Structure 1
Amino acid sequence: MPTSRSYRDSCGIARALDVVGERWALLVVRELLLAPQRFSELRLSLPNASSNLLADRLRELELHGVVGRRRLAGASGPHVYELTEWGRGLEPIVLALGEWGIDAPRPAEPASLSATSVLIFLRGGVPRDPAAPPFVCRLDLGGTPWTVRVEAGGVQVLSGEPATADIALRTDPRTLGALLADPAALAPALAEGSAALVGGLPTLHRLLYGDGG
């Protein structure tokens, strides 16, 4: 059930942890950084959190004004959860935690890796040449389409399909994470079918490894 525990400490750090310090709370925030999600989508992204625990965290975050909930397609549509403007202020904090956590010990296998996690790394963890020509990738991760635009040295990730794309890549989050970590994994992944490419291989190299791939 939702918790109302507090550190009863006036420091801003303690007050922030009163809001988002419960287990799974910041991972819920992470999953909502790129797009709103339904409860079922959050469950798939956070498979080690029980349904009851996830529901509790969402209620707490909604109560504190970090997360909002709205219906899709009118009154009969499903609910989606999204970050409020205040909740969006957590983005640089979550990203900084991710950078700091790169040096932390890896969890024992099997360990989960969500689409949002790997897309966050793709967005900010690969060096880009600001002078390189732009391109658009249609990225299918586990059956969910994403638009990835690379231009002016930056990367924009949007949910849904692009109107047009220079390349299309179909894979799953764990395979994409492995490709980003090791360029040598690309050729075997394409050969065995765990990654499928439509378009030019040089552009895929630019997506995954920057212009030095």
Structure 2
Amino acid sequence: MPTSRSYQDACGIARALDVAGERWALLVVRELLLGPRRFIDLRRALPGASSNMVSDRLRELEARGVVARRELAPPAGSRVYELTAWGRELEPIVLALGGWGLRAPMPPGAVTLSATAVLLYLRGAARPSPGAPPAVFRVQLDDHVWTVESSAGSVTVRPGEPAAADAALRTDPATLNALLAAPTGLDAALSSGRVTATGDLEALRGLLRSVTDPAL
């Protein structure tokens, strides 16, 4: 159930934790960093949290001004959750926490990895050559499509179909994460069927390599 616990501490750190420090709260924020999501999307991205837990965190974050609900116009008619302007100010904090946490040991046993988590890592770690021609990629991770654009030495990510794409890739988050760590594995992943790719494969290889071999 929603909680109203407080550290009763005037320090800004404690007050921030009063707002977004409950278990799963910052992971809900993480999942909203790339755009609005439906409840079912959040639930699937956070399989270790029960439906009630995700609902509680959303209600708390909404009550505290971090998250807002919005009804999509017909024909979609779905309810989505998105970060408020104040909630978006958590982005550099969450990303910095993620960078710090990469040095922590991996949890034991089976682990999960959401599409948003992998794409945030790609966006932050990729350093394509500033002189390389811009490229647009259609990236499908499980049942969601994302537009990834490489341009002017940086990478942007947004949900939804691109108007046009130079290359397309379909896989799962764990496989994409493995390719970001070892781009030379793309051919083997294609041969095994774990990855489907079409279009300009050299541009796609360049995107993957830009994480492990960033342009100087």
What is the TM-score when the length of structure 1 is the normalising length? 0.96
Structure 1 residue aligned with 2:164: 164
Distance (Å, rounded) in 1 between the aligned partners of 2:127 and 2:83: 28
Percent sequence identity over matched residues? Answer: 61
**1:202 partnered with 2:202:** yes
The runs of 4+ residues in structure 1 deviating greater than 3 Å are none
Secondary structure (helix, strand or coil) at the match of 1:187 reads: helix
Classify the secondary structure of the residue corresponding to 1:48.
coil
2:6 maps to what in 1?
6
Deviations 1:147-194 (A, max 9, x none): 111000111111111111110111111110111111232221111011
What is the number of equivalent residue pairs in this alignment?
213
SS at match of 1:58: helix
8 Å CA contact 2:32–2:83 kept in 1: the answer is yes
**Secondary structure in 2 matching 1:92:** helix
Bigger mean CA deviation after superposition, 111-120 or 194-203: 194-203
Match of 1:99 in 2: 99
Deviates more, 1:202-211 or 1:38-47: 202-211
Equivalent in the alignment of 1:110: 110
Q: How does 1:1-213 map to 2 (within 5 A)?
A: 1-73=1-73, 77-210=77-210, 212=213
After TM superposition, give the deviation of residue 145 of structure 1 in Å.
Answer: 1.0
Query: Could you report, residue by residue, the CA deviation over 1:32-60 in whole angstroms, capped at 9, with x for unpaired residues?
Result: 00010111100000000000111000000
Asked if 1 retains the 8 angstrom alpha-carbon contact of 2:126 and 2:154, the reply is no
How far is the alpha carbon of 1:127 from its aligned partner?
Answer: 2.2
Deviation at 1:143, TM superposition (A): 2.1
Report the CA distance between 1:77 and its aligned residue: 2.0
Unaligned runs of 5+ in 1: none
Please state how far the C-alpha of 1:94 moved relative to its aligned partner.
Answer: 0.4
Distance 1:39 1:185, change over 3 A: same
State how far apart, in whole Å, the 1-side matches of 2:151 and 2:79 are. 33
Paired residue secondary structure (1:112) = coil
Q: Distance in 1 between matches of 2:109 and 2:133?
A: 39
Aligned-residue offset at 1:75: 10
